[in-house]
Structure 1
Amino acid sequence: MKIAVVAANGKEGRLVVKEALSRGDEVTAVVRGENKSAAPHAILKDLFDLTTTDLAGFDVIVDAVGTWTSETLHVIPDAAKHLAGILSGTDIRLIVVGGAGSLFVNKEHTLALKDTPDFSDDYKPVSAAHSKALEGLRNRSDVKWTYISPAADFQADGTRTGSYGLAGEELTANAEGESFISYADYAIAVVDEAESGRHVGERISVYAK
């Protein structure tokens, strides 16, 4: 399996690289500057300068782009759009590291987590950016995309347990009523999907059991 991780220097990107390498996958980092991940190969290029030719030969591209500032949040949906565009019509799959805010909290799928009264104002801008990325993917049938939402509490320094629960469009909690997952366990789910390709054209979600 040949996997390219875009934004491999980020916290989630590095963990996806590490997880894929541990399974014997061939991993390439896509970074603007020095490759600080464990990937033995790198494409040193701004993601918006990537072309179809740059990504030819890979089985899966992982979009691990993450930003938080108001000036840069547009990069999240713009990155997903650009990568989908250059992968259009190919057999290369695109896996996007998504957000939790767009997960539904009712069975009718009319109310998303980000629109509930208790959702923190601090997270609304980044949630809106991730939601825009997902909406853009939903409108495409020309690219083999998968969008993976984490649980409500996405823990950057959380423990790697080696397992996770898999769900769909709805926010899901564990038996204790808690909805969280570590970056490390989320990386396991990303690589599982990369290797299996079971959810092409779908949004899935993962949580700690």
Structure 2
Amino acid sequence: MARITVVGGTGYAGSNIVREAASRGHQVTAIARTVPAETIDGVTYISGDVLDPAVVQRAAAGADVVVAALSPRGTLEGKLVGVVRELTAAAQAAGARLGVVGGAGSLLVAPGGPTVAETDGFPDAFKPEAAEMAAILDDLHASDAALDWFYLSPAGGFGAWAAGEHTGTFRLGGDLLLVDDEGNSTISGADYAQAFVDEIERPAHRRQRFSVAY
């Protein structure tokens, strides 16, 4: 059993990871600005703002794995890179592994590029978010070699608007965007969470970004 703290544990990706980890018997703490009306059995919920350094330190204290399941939106727009840097430092100081819910925008559509965010069809409105998530990945690659981290990029079609089902069947990849025979790139929230918690239980991508899709 691992002690897992999920920062952003009530969002789409975070809540799926919390549910999956708790179902496997891990000791799970979810940190978010507000505690949801419906909670998951066995999960400890803590209300806190990650822009408060004390909340970041609390997230790492006593954890085996700290999960950053945050998006650069709302109050975190333009600030997430700094927040994850603080989480990274806190996790390393606590001797915890860091897992990051990444973005798909920095994945390559072909060997050598371009990235998904650089393609003509990528919406301008999402480019700042993709840039922030890419900067977080760059920071991790440049981090102290003693830091144990992983960054899991979802398929292109990942989000609450396409929640999907828990199939238990998916593919893992590297820096290339995974697509099916029809060119679609999708993954459900539950299957993304399964891949994420699998990595926590059986580390195979230390200090690496990897990806998941059908």
Q: Same fold (TM over 0.5)?
A: yes
**1:29/1:35 contact within 8 Å kept:** no
Cα distance 1:97–1:107, how it changes in 2: closer, same or farther (>3 A)? same
Q: Which residue of 1 aligns with 2:11?
A: 10
Cα distance 1:59–1:120, how it changes in 2: closer, same or farther (>3 A)? same
Check if 1:159 corresponds to 2:165: yes
Q: Which residue of 2 aligns with 1:134?
A: 137
Q: Which residue of 2 aligns with 1:49?
A: 54
Q: What TM-score do you get using the length of structure 2 for normalisation?
A: 0.87
Q: Give 1:33 shift.
A: 3.4
Aligned CA RMSD, in angstroms, stands at 2.0
3-state DSSP class of the match of 1:85? helix
**1:84/1:94 contact within 8 Å kept:** yes
Structure 2: runs of 5+ lacking an equivalent: none
3-state DSSP class of the match of 1:27? strand
In structure 2, distance between residues paired with 1:127 and 1:59:
28
3-state DSSP class of the match of 1:86? helix
In structure 1, distance between residues paired with 2:79 and 2:17:
20
In structure 1, distance between residues paired with 2:82 and 2:128:
15
Aligned residue pairs: how many? 206
Deviations 1:16-35 (A, max 9, x none): 11111111111111223335
Structure 1: runs of 5+ lacking an equivalent: none
1:2-81 equivalent positions in 2, closer than 5 A: 2-34=3-35, 37-38=39-40, 40-47=43-50, 48-50=53-55, 52=57, 55-69=60-74, 72-81=76-85
Q: Which residue of 1 aligns with 2:119?
A: 116
In structure 1, distance between residues paired with 2:6 and 2:125:
28
In structure 2, distance between residues paired with 1:168 and 1:198:
12
- Aligned-pair identity in percent equals 36
